[in-house]
Amino acid sequence: MRFCFVYGLSITAVLLVIASSGVAVRLVHQQIADCEYGEDFTDMVYYVKNIFNRKYDSVYDSRIGKYVGYDEYGVKNADHYNNQDWKMLLRKAEVDTLCRYNARQYRISTIDRKVPPTVKVRQTKHADYGERTMFECSVWSFYPQAINVSWLIDGVETVTDVSSTDVLPNEDWTFQLHSYLELILKRGERLTCRVEHSSLVKSLEVDFDTFSLDAKYIKLSVGSIFFCIGFTAAVGGAVYYWWKRRSGFSPVDGREQTSTSLSDL
């Protein structure tokens, strides 16, 4: 497979007015620097293309190390360029300084770039167990664009009532995607968003955190426990007080009986 990288494009337009006929003629000159290369950059080919009025005038080809003309004026221009030693040295150096260098940078920033995604699963609106609601799996900041997102219920993939956005670009040259699942979640079920991407060694699975759904049950359980403890303590205190009253025990009566016994002695 060969790749093409256009380094630069310059356009020069000259407007000539022919006095005798009063007709304006627009002449356009373009110069395009073009790099073509394979997987390992060893077969780098560098072109500098001169185009006059949409026709090739002359082209520098790094494979032969000189300019080639395509018509009468193109041949003259090519000979002129080829006799400029400084230009030939510059074109030869540009194979590395422009083509090979920029091709490597392009590959690092595009083809070889891998950015793993950030995944979050949430409810779009609060609902309790047994109520129909929508879940969202947000996948952020991944590169390259190709990605696969799926939903699992207790480890089994589901495709019912599943929808998603297109893959959307971010400002930092990464992408985002949002997948949705409409579902009646049952208590004890495990809901998982699975993401497969080339930046990951294995698929990334993120479970929906049911703490928000379980919180009120936890609060109810804790409240019930404290209520039972308080009720048990109250009942125990009442029973103890009733039992002491029934046995005739009184701290004040006990002191009076002791004083009487001492006076009798």
Question: Which of 159, 152, 179 has the alpha carbon at shortest distance from 167?
Answer: 179
Task: Count the neighbouring beta carbons within 10 Å of the beta carbon of residue 40.
Answer: 7
Rounded Cα–Cα distance for residues 206 and 209 (Å) = 9
Q: For the whole prediction, is pTM greater than 0.75?
A: no
- In this predicted structure, the answer to whether residue 204 has a pLDDT above a threshold of 90 is yes
> In this predicted model, what pLDDT tens digit does every residue of 52-69 receive, in sequence order?
988 999 999 999 999 999
The CA angle 41-42-46, to the nearest 5 degrees, is 75
Contact 201/192 with Cβ under 8 angstroms? no
| Boundaries of every domain in the chain | 3-109, 118-211
Rounded Cα–Cα distance for residues 191 and 212 (Å) = 14
**Residue position matching structure tokens 């002449």:** 27
Rounded Cα–Cα distance for residues 122 and 138 (Å) = 8
Confidence of residue 262 (pLDDT cuts 50, 70, 90): very low
Question: Which of 36, 69, 34, 37 has the alpha carbon at shortest distance from 48?
Answer: 34
- In this predicted structure, the answer to whether residue 99 has a pLDDT above a threshold of 60 is yes
Confidence of residue 41 (pLDDT cuts 50, 70, 90): confident
- In this predicted structure, the answer to whether residue 252 has a pLDDT above a threshold of 60 is no
Q: Are strands 132-142 and 175-184 parallel, antiparallel or unpaired?
A: antiparallel
* Over residues 99-118, mean pLDDT: 89
Q: 3-109 and 118-211: same fold? A: no
* Over residues 98-120, mean pLDDT: 90
Does 118-211 carry CATH code 2.60.40.10?
A: yes
CATH of domain 3-109: 3.10.320.10
Angle of helix 85-94 versus helix 72-82 axis, rounded to 10: 90
Q: State what percent of residues in the chain have pLDDT above 70.
A: 72
* Over residues 198-216, mean pLDDT: 86
